[in-house]
Amino acid sequence: MSSAERLASFEIIKRLGAGGMAEVFLAKKLGAEGTYKLLVLKRIHPSHARSRRFRAMFVEEAHLATRLNHPNIVQVYEFLDHGDEGLLLAMEYVEGYDLGRLMSVARQKGTRIPPWVSAYIIAEAAKGLHYAHERRDEGGSPLAIVHRDVSPQNILLSIEGAVKIADFGIASANLFREEPGTLKGKFGYMSPEQARGERVDRRSDIYGLGVVLYEVLALRSPYASKADPNVKPQDEELLEAVRNGNFLPPSEHVGEIPSELEAIVMRAMSHDREDRFQTARDMAGAIGRALLAKQELVDASNIETVVTMLLGRSSILPSAPPPSEAAQQTLAAIPQKRANTAGLAEQDDEPKVSVRRPREVRHVAGPRDAARRPTRARAGGGQRRRLQTRVRKPPRDPRSHRLQARRALDVDRLGPSRRAARLDHRHRRAAREPVAGGVRRGLSGGRRPRGARGRV
């Protein structure tokens, strides 16, 4: 399918892959004003589009997946029926790789994934599984969801270090009628009871998670032969080994595996389901306690480092421009500096570019600036120009008016006798104030006799 082709209301970018029942595409869902969202579209393979059995399985997957909303589970947005184009399941796009790809590249390069990083990946996947196992319907009844296909291909790692469980296509739940004796899943990751066709519960997923942890630590299957660790037995032989639980501890193949992690693997892969971790949260807690005991600080940044080191961080989107073009587009959006046109006048062929001259700004000094710097000269335009200063008169001190008003108020509050004495005291004080001809000694030029009081 070409990049310009459309599927219903989605623009297809590329085909990501296909399985036995469905095919998966990377697509854009277009919005207003040129906005879009990257999605993953899953639909039944055209060769099985008329099969009622595959259609029923696809609808069951949609019923389960649309009920799940957890950071460690791939989010399903909507389930659409587009008639002739088939049923479409729109899911979250996780930009990254699956754990199986990471293990394959590490095996090819002759290196190993750090054991504590591997344990952290499994602990994050266990959190998503525990959420699915504990999910209830609208009435509060347990859904009893069992993934039944826990494998490295269904554990996705984003380039930012997020871990997500994907593909509940063959999951079982109380919503659906289960046919007894049917085998669904990959033989190498089945629990013994699942390989025998018995009814399974959440502990079957815990067994599969233990097999994945075994493979990440040893980079080989627990059922692979010693002669060729990269080759698994044939289906019948493999199925018999899974039913009987015939495998060696991972330390028999790799000596650098921590004993704490090997104990977690062996407990998760116990033949009797009663001896395993009873919940996926218990398994995640055991890994967390082992990390704490060893004082190993592992988070998403460590996963990002490992993924980048082994697989790189290149974008898979064909619509992304090359780095050189992106830089040119960015520079073109920035206003460039105006060119100097000193030598352009002699070139007649070149268009003249008008130069914008800077505007002269005149500074108007305030009273303080005028006191410190009354004038300042600056050269400009071939002549000296003095800065214009505008000096304001200092504001009139209002204290005298306030003092007179306060005194008048104080005098009004006094009694008649004390008021007269106060006014007489002020009159005598005013008579002694200096004037142009000397000291005023009184209203008539002589001293006022003692005891004399003035009137208002």
Mutual angle of helices 202-218 and 99-108, in 10-degree steps: 20
278 falls within a domain? yes
189 falls within a domain? yes
Same domain, 138 and 286: yes
Alpha-carbon distance of 124 to 126, in angstroms, equals 5
Same domain, 65 and 100: no
Same domain, 73 and 100: no
pTM assigned to the model: 0.67
User: How many domains in the chain?
Assistant: 2
Same domain, 86 and 125: no
The CATH number that applies at residue 63 is 3.30.200.20
The domain boundary, picked from 65, 93, 121, lies at 93
Return the residue matching tokens 């504001």: 395
Q: Is 175 in contact with 203 (CB distance < 8 Å)?
A: no
pLDDT tens string, the chain, 456 residues long: the values are 444 588 777 889 999 888 777 889 999 988 888 889 999 999 888 878 778 888 888 888 888 888 999 999 999 998 888 777 778 899 999 999 999 999 999 999 999 999 999 999 999 999 999 999 999 988 888 989 999 999 999 999 999 999 999 988 778 776 665 655 566 788 999 999 999 988 899 999 999 999 999 999 999 999 987 777 777 778 888 999 999 988 999 999 988 899 999 999 999 999 999 999 999 999 999 999 999 999 999 999 999 999 999 998 765 554 444 444 443 443 333 344 444 444 434 444 444 444 555 555 555 555 555 445 544 444 444 445 555 555 565 665 655 666 666 666 665 666 666 767 766 766 666 666 555 555 444 444 455 555 555 554
Write out the catalytic residue numbers. 149
The domain boundary, picked from 58, 74, 93, lies at 93
Same domain, 58 and 139: no
The CATH number that applies at residue 236 is 1.10.510.10
Range of the domain at 263: 96-311
Q: In what order do the strands lie in the sheet with 87-92?
A: 6-7, 10-18, 22-30, 36-44, 87-92, 76-81
Same domain, 17 and 71: yes
Alpha-carbon distance of 376 to 379, in angstroms, equals 10
Same domain, 138 and 61: no
Alpha-helical runs (H) found in 66-164:
99-108, 115-134
Same domain, 164 and 227: yes
Same domain, 120 and 57: no
